[in-house]
């Protein structure tokens, strides 16, 4: 009769979708007062107590299916598997009631308490002093936890339970004792009331900080096949994703090649490479398998344990206790385990912290030669890989690695301690500094990669903050920045070294000039020119560059192009405003000597537009010249007869005739802008035409006309 319910329960558990959820639900129902009624195979109705309805979304009734077939039969049923909303609500309800659940006391089997314990093992650094035996109550327990395993886009949840551990000694229970605890809990065969239990002493429980890591190791071991499978799938997905990213960025870089300037392409490629590396790191980190453990409850049992204890004393005053114990549930075999690592104890060692350890988890300090367990020291100094006790162990503030006191040193930067591996001399000043306060110069620096302290670090402005030493740089002549030998540049004007911030290339000559040696052309203010590439205009005194200035061919001075014009009489030359003139006929520019004023109109006229008057012999402009039969100037065509000749004209006529005082038959006279024209009729078709400048009596031209022809007696100047 007693075996039939157990067989039926086992068959039912084989049909459920998640055995751990079913066991957690059964425990919750038995403790909370909830009522679970079977409606159909694997379909149950749960009546939730009022105190727990908040955890279940304020529901009073929930229908639960433990198989797919059962869920298909009822549309209101919820699947009871980890990851479902119901499982999350159930876990929340269990955690609200308490993180520890005491199941009960496991009934011991009949044992002969007079059975002799095993002989104590040899002690390396001590001896057995005394022994005692007792029966005590021990708490044992297992951790139920929700484990979320993530890798890439794959997220899986598990409700796992660790193995049973002795919470007093930290030892893993043997399989026979664990089966006895589980069987007693499932069958409710618990010794909850017994006068014998109350009379026995209770062993203390180890801190949970010591127990949780052991239980987590047990959880990891139970989920190891699932984790390894997920890790394999994640690595396959990561390989595919990295290949896709590689192809994407390779196509971007191929498209970038050949476009733009060299610097733009270089900078763009560096940006794409940095982005490519970042994406690969992100994907690698995302596909790494991570497990997040959410403790649900610690299930505890209490059982009777027979203990045999031996006091251990060492020659240096160290003390420890050797314990052999056996559980009165199960097969009752004596177990002698290391109290530190819970492993088999073949040889004991007294730790310097006055407790016992086995030969596998104990070490000898390389500094003081004292013995210690792994919990009270370092297994290996990161420099010489030798063990060291907690008293002589240090943590380097620079590299955050553990080391022994024999490899301790001081950093000259702030006087703090650091390990010998992180301390080294500065390549320039020789100070001993740690890695945190030292900087390694770039291998491309003038003197290669060197270790420099903070006092000797210089940031080369030309290399965008490239770290160099003080002996590799020169100060900028314009500011406080320094420039290394590899990135130095000099101003082409003052020949001094400047940083790139203060050096620019001129727009046309492409010379490097600093800020002080730059000038601004008034005609192109945004252009960069050097001070030795500009001049002051001799006309308007503005600063102008060689592109917007030229030399006047007349005075030899530099003028801006605003005040210069090309002159026709001097090919490929220009003249300034003061030394240029324009022919009033075609408005072409000439030098001041390239034109002459027309004696008729007084306007400037070039040589190409001047004609000689046949009557007076003067060179006049083509506008005042008649090209008809007379071929005379406009002034000569206006000659009128006069009877009252001025005295100065008479004197000028005497000079023109070389003193001849004979009286002409007729006088004709007129005037223009430059001369007074006098025509003397000497008879016999002889005429004498005299050009007299205003306010003078000295003739400019004297032309004699006769039957024999025209003769110039005095050419014009």
What pLDDT, in 10s, does the model give residues 332-361?
A: 888 888 888 878 888 889 998 888 888 888
pLDDT surpassing 70 at residue 260: no
Find residue 126's DSSP bridge partners.
Answer: 314
Contact 225, 341 (CB under 8 A): no
- pLDDT tier at 195, thresholds 50, 70, 90: low
- Categorize the per-residue pLDDT at 187 as very low, low, confident or very high, splitting at 50, 70 and 90: low
- The DSSP H or E segment spanning 681 is strand 675-683
DSSP β-bridge partners for residue 418: 409
Q: What is d(CA 438, CA 432) in angstroms, rounded to the nearest whole number?
A: 9
| Overall size of the chain counted in residues | 717
Categorize the per-residue pLDDT at 109 as very low, low, confident or very high, splitting at 50, 70 and 90. confident
Task: Report residue 189: phi and psi, to 5°.
Answer: -90, 65
* Positive/negative CA dihedral, 142, 144, 150, 156: positive
Within 8 A by CB and 6+ apart from 647, the residues are none
Taking the CB of residue 682, how many other CB atoms lie within 10 A of it?
A: 18
* 189 against 213, higher pLDDT: 213
pLDDT at 431: 92
Strands (DSSP E) contained in 478-623 are 482-484, 489-490, 497-498, 503-505, 512-514, 518-521, 524-530, 534-536, 543-545, 549-551, 558-560, 564-566, 574-576, 580-582, 589-591, 595-597, 604-606, 610-612, 619-621
Question: For residue 365, which phi and psi values (nearest 5 degrees)?
Answer: -65, 135
Q: What is the pLDDT of residue 256?
A: 63
Rounded to 5 degrees, φ, ψ at 354 are 65, 50
Give me the pLDDT at residue 14, please: 43
Instruction: Check pLDDT > 90 for residue 590.
Output: yes
Does the structure show a pLDDT above 60 at 72?
A: yes
Q: Which pLDDT score is estimated for 688?
A: 92
Rounded Cα distance between 83 and 158, Å, is: 8
Q: What is the pLDDT of residues 645-690, one digit of tens each?
A: 898 988 988 888 887 778 889 999 999 999 999 999 988 888 999 9
pLDDT on residue 616: 92
329 CB neighbour count, 10 Å cutoff: 26
Cα gap 585→588, rounded to integer Å? 8
In the block, tokens 């056996």 appear at 326
Find the DSSP H helices in 490-620.
none
pLDDT at residue 554 tops 60: yes
- Contact between 469 and 452 under an 8 Å Cβ cutoff? The reply is yes
Higher pLDDT, 261 or 665: 665
Check residue 3 and give its pLDDT. Answer: 40
Instruction: Return the structure tokens found at 198.
Output: 């109350």
Distance CA 621, CA 624 (A): 6
Q: Which of 141, 136, 131, 106 is nearest to 203 (CA)?
A: 136
Average of pLDDT values for 531-536? Answer: 92
Confidence of residue 7 (pLDDT cuts 50, 70, 90): very low
Q: pLDDT value at position 384? A: 92
pLDDT at residue 474 greater than cutoff 90: no
> What per-residue confidence (pLDDT) applies to 1?
33
> Can you give the pLDDT at residue 584?
93
SS3 (DSSP) at 367: coil
| Mean pLDDT of the region 297-319 | 87
pLDDT at residue 579 in the model: 93
At 61 the pLDDT is: 92
Helices assigned H by DSSP within 16-142 = 19-32, 68-73, 85-97
Taking each helix axis as running N to C, give the angle between helix 262-286 and helix 208-256, from 0 to 180 degrees, rounded to the nearest 10: 150
Residue 422 — pLDDT band, cuts 50, 70, 90? very high
Phi, psi (5° rounding) for residue 4?
-65, -45
| CB contact at 8 A, 478 and 520 | no
Question: Domains of the chain: which residue ranges?
Answer: 3-98, 101-118+136-308, 364-422, 595-714
Rounded to whole angstroms, the Cα distance separating 431 from 451 reads 10
Which range (89-103, 259-273, 568-582) has the least confidence?
Answer: 259-273
Least confident of 1-10, 50-59, 514-523, 524-533: 1-10
Distance CA 610, CA 585 (A): 10
Q: What is the DSSP letter of 671?
A: E
pLDDT band at residue 318 using 50, 70 and 90 as cut-offs = confident
Query: Which 8-state DSSP code applies to residue 240?
Result: H
**Residues 699 and 691: beta-carbon distance below 8 Å:** yes
Q: What is the DSSP letter of 544?
A: E
DSSP state of 172: B
Over 70: is that where the pLDDT of 2 sits? Answer: no
CA trace torsion 559, 563, 565, 570 (10° rounding): -40
pLDDT band per the 50, 70, 90 thresholds, residue 636: very high
Q: How confident is the model at residue 543 (pLDDT cuts 50, 70, 90)?
A: very high
Cβ neighbours of residue 143 under 8 Å, at least 6 residues apart? 161, 162, 212, 215, 216, 218, 219, 295, 297, 298, 299
pLDDT at 236: 92
Task: Return the pLDDT at 575.
Answer: 94
CA dihedral 276, 279, 281, 286 (to 10 degrees): -160
Q: DSSP 3-state assignment of 339?
A: coil
Rounded to whole angstroms, how far apart are CA atoms 201 and 135?
8
Band of pLDDT at residue 192, cut at 50, 70 and 90: low
Measured CA to CA, the distance from residue 266 to residue 456 in angstroms comes to: 31
pLDDT at 31: 80
Average pLDDT over the chain, rounded to an integer: 86
Does residue 12 carry a pLDDT above 50? no
User: Phi and psi dihedrals of 629, rounded to 5?
Assistant: -70, -30
Residue 496 CB: number of other CB atoms within 10 A? 14
pLDDT for 191? 59
Residue range 214-240, pLDDT digits in tens: 899 999 999 999 999 999 999 999 999
- Residue 142: pLDDT above 70? yes
**Per-residue pLDDT for 585 more than 90?**
yes
């Amino acid at each position: 009769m007693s075996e039939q319910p157990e067989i039926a329960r086992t068959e039912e558990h084989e049909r459920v979708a998640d055995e751990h959820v079913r066991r957690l639900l059964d425990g919750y129902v038995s403790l909370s007062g909830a009522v679970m009624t079977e409606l159909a195979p694997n379909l149950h109705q749960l009546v939730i107590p009022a105190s727990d309805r908040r955890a279940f979304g304020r529901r009073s009734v929930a229908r639960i299916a433990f198989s797919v077939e059962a869920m298909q039969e009822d549309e209101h049923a919820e699947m009871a598997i980890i990851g479902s909303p119901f499982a999350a609500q159930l876990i929340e309800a269990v955690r609200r009631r308490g993180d520890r659940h005491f199941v009960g006391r496991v009934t011991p089997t009949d044992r002969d308490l007079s059975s002799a314990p095993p002989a104590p093992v040899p002690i390396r650094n001590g001896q057995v002093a005394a022994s005692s035996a007792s029966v005590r109550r021990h708490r044992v327990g297992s951790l139920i936890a929700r484990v979320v395993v993530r890798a890439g886009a794959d997220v899986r949840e598990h409700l796992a339970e660790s193995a049973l551990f002795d919470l007093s000694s930290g030892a893993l229970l043997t399989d026979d004792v664990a089966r006895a605890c589980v069987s007693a809990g499932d069958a409710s065969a618990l010794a909850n009331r017994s006068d014998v239990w109350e009379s026995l002493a209770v062993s203390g429980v180890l801190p949970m900080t010591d127990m949780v890591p052991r239980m987590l190791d047990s959880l990891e071991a139970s989920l190891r096949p699932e984790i390894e499978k997920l890790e394999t799938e994640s690595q396959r997905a990561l390989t595919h994703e990295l290949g896709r990213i590689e192809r994407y960025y390779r196509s971007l870089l191929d498209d970038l090649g050949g476009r733009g300037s060299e610097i733009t392409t270089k900078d763009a490629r560096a940006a794409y490479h940095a982005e490519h590396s970042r994406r690969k790191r992100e994907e690698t980190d995302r596909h790494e398998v991570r497990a997040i453990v959410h403790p649900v409850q610690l299930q505890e049992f209490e059982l009777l344990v027979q203990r045999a204890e031996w006091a251990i004393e060492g020659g240096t005053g160290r003390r420890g206790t050797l314990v052999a114990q056996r559980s009165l549930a199960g097969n009752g075999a004596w177990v002698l385990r290391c109290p530190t690592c819970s492993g088999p104890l073949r040889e004991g060692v007294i730790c310097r912290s006055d407790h016992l350890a086995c030969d596998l988890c104990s070490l000898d300090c390389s500094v003081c030669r004292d013995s210690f367990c792994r919990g009270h020291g370092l297994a290996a100094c990161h420099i010489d890989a030798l063990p060291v006790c907690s008293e002589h162990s240090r943590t380097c503030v620079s590299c955050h690695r553990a080391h022994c006191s024999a490899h301790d040193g001081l950093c000259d930067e702030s006087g703090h301690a650091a390990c010998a591996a992180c301390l080294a001399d500065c390549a320039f000043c020789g100070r001993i500094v740690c890695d945190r306060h030292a900087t390694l110069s770039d291998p491309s620096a003038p003197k290669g990669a060197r270790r420099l302290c903070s006092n000797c670090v210089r940031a080369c402005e030309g290399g965008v903050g490239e770290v160099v030493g003080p002996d590799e740089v020169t100060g900028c002549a314009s500011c406080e920045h320094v420039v290394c030998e590899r990135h130095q540049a000099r101003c082409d004007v003052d020949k001094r070294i400047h940083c790139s911030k203060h050096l620019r290339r001129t727009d046309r000559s492409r010379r490097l000039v600093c800020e002080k040696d730059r000038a601004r052309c008034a005609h192109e203010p945004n252009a960069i020119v050097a001070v030795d590439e500009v001049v002051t205009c001799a006309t308007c005194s503005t600063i102008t560059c060689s592109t917007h200035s030229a030399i006047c061919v007349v005075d030899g001075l530099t003028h801006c192009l605003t005040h210069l014009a090309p002159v026709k009489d001097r090919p490929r030359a220009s003249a300034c405003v003061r030394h240029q003139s324009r022919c009033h006929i075609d408005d072409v520019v000439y030098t001041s000597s390239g034109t002459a004023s027309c004696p008729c109109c007084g306007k400037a006229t070039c040589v190409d537009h001047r004609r000689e008057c046949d009557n007076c012999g003067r060179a006049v402009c083509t506008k005042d010249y008649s090209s008809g039969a007379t071929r005379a100037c406009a002034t000569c065509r206006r000659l009128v007869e006069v009877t009252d000749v001025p005295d100065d004209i008479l004197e000028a006529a005497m000079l023109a005739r070389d003193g001849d005082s004979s009286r002409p038959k007729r006088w004709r006279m007129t005037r223009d802008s430059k001369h007074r024209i006098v025509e003397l009729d000497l008879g016999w078709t002889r005429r004498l035409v005299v050009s007299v400048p205003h306010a003078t009596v000295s003739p400019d031209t004297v032309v004699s006309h006769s039957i024999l022809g025209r003769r110039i007696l005095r050419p014009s100047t």
